[in-house]
Amino acid sequence: MNTAKIELHLHLDGSLNIAWAYRKALQRNVIEKGTSFEDFYNILFARNLAHSAESIRKFELVCDLLQTFEDLYDATYDLCRRLNDIGIIYAEIRFASQQHCKKGLSQLDALQAVIDGADKAMREMDIRTGIINCLMHKGDSASFNEKENLEAIEASEKLFGNGLVGMDLAGYENNCDFKEYAPLFRIVKEKGIPFTLHAGEMGIGEHILDALAMKPDRIGHGIDCMQDQRYIDALKAAEIPLEVCVSSNVKTTMNYASHPIRRMIEAGLKVTVNTDNMIFARTDLANEHSQLKMIGIEEAFLIQSTYDSLDAAFCDQKTKDQLKQKLDKDFRR
Ligand SMILES: [Zn+2]
- Domains of the chain by range and CATH? 5-313 (3.20.20.140)
Specify the pLDDT at position 49.
52
Round the average pLDDT of the chain to a whole number and report it.
Answer: 94
Write the Ramachandran bin of 164: left for phi over 0, alpha for psi from -120 to 50, otherwise beta: beta
What separation in Å is there between the alpha carbon of 34 and the centre of ligand 1?
32
pLDDT in tens, 151-179: 999 999 999 999 999 999 999 888 889 99
In percent, the amount of the chain with pLDDT more than 90 equals 86
Interval 285-303 mean pLDDT: 96
What separation in Å is there between the alpha carbon of 198 and the centre of ligand 1?
7
pLDDT in tens, 240-250: 999 999 999 88
d(CA 171, CA 50) in angstroms, rounded, equals 10
What separation in Å is there between the alpha carbon of 228 and the centre of ligand 1?
22
What separation in Å is there between the alpha carbon of 123 and the centre of ligand 1?
27
Q: Is the confidence at residue 320, as pLDDT, over 80?
A: yes
Q: Is the confidence at residue 42, as pLDDT, over 90?
A: no
What separation in Å is there between the alpha carbon of 22 and the centre of ligand 1?
22
d(CA 291, CA 34) in angstroms, rounded, equals 36
Which range, of 111-115, 210-214, 278-282, averages the lowest pLDDT?
278-282
